[in-house]
């Protein structure tokens, strides 16, 4: 049912399994959008190889909302449009701030400008979340 939707969200997160030979395993999350009539969330455990996404999403065509991890790129060979995640993009701006600088101290820095623009988009998104398509 999830693969029949026009929009799917995907993400993968590392976790440590005790008594495992591997240092990290990953939980992959595949879910419908929040406005879907019947919300769906699926979890898959495995490696971070792009084959995990490819295997699960084979047959899907539509928009895949993800953070542009290269493992998703192969999906563009089928009828999948990758849609970037601004929360992940914003995190990169935060990561680029010098550790000894306060986030609001230098509004002229490129990193702070990026954070500011992302925050503006998030405010607009929250204001519009109940509008119809």
CA atoms within 13 A on the CB side of 74: 12
- 109, 97 contact by CB (below 8 A): yes
The answer on 67 and 38 residing in a single domain is yes
Does residue 108 sit within a domain? Answer: yes
Which of 11, 54, 51, 60 has the alpha carbon at shortest distance from 31? 11
Residue 3 has pLDDT above 70, yes or no: yes
Number of structural domains (the chain) is 2
Contacts of 65 (CB under 8 A, 6+ apart): 7, 8, 9, 10, 33, 83, 85
The answer on 68 and 39 residing in a single domain is yes
Contacts of 110 (CB under 8 A, 6+ apart): 96
Integer Cα distance of 56 and 22 in angstroms: 22
Read off the pTM.
0.77
Residue 67: predicted pLDDT:
86
Residue 120 has pLDDT above 90, yes or no: yes
Residue 106 has pLDDT above 80, yes or no: no
- 31, 39 contact by CB (below 8 A): yes
Confidence of residue 62 (pLDDT cuts 50, 70, 90): very high
Which structural domain, as residue segments, surrounds residue 43?
Answer: 2-84
Identify which has the larger pLDDT, 85 or 104: 85
Phi, psi of 22, rounded to the nearest 5 degrees: -85, 145
Does residue 133 sit within a domain? Answer: no
Average per-residue pLDDT in the chain? 85
Residue 104 has pLDDT above 60, yes or no: no
Percent of the chain residues topping a pLDDT of 70: 90
Read off the pLDDT of each residue in 105-133 and give the average, rounded to a whole number.
87
Residue range 11-33, pLDDT digits in tens: 988 887 776 676 778 888 999 98
The answer on 107 and 48 residing in a single domain is no
């Amino acid at each position: 049912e999830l693969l029949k939707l026009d929009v799917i969200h995907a993400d993968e997160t590392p976790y440590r399994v005790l008594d495992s030979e591997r240092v990290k395993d990953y939980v992959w999350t595949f879910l419908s959008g929040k406005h879907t009539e019947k919300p769906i969330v699926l979890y898959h455990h495995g490696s971070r190889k792009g084959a995990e996404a490819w295997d699960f999403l084979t047959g899907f065509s539509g928009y895949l909302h993800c953070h542009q991890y290269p493992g998703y790129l192969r999906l563009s060979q089928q009828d999948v449009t990758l849609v970037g995640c601004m929360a992940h993009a914003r995190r990169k701006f935060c990561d680029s701030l010098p550790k000894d600088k306060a986030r609001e101290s230098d509004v002229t820095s490129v990193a702070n400008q990026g954070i500011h623009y992302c925050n503006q988009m998030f405010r607009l998104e929250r204001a519009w979340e109940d509008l119809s398509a």
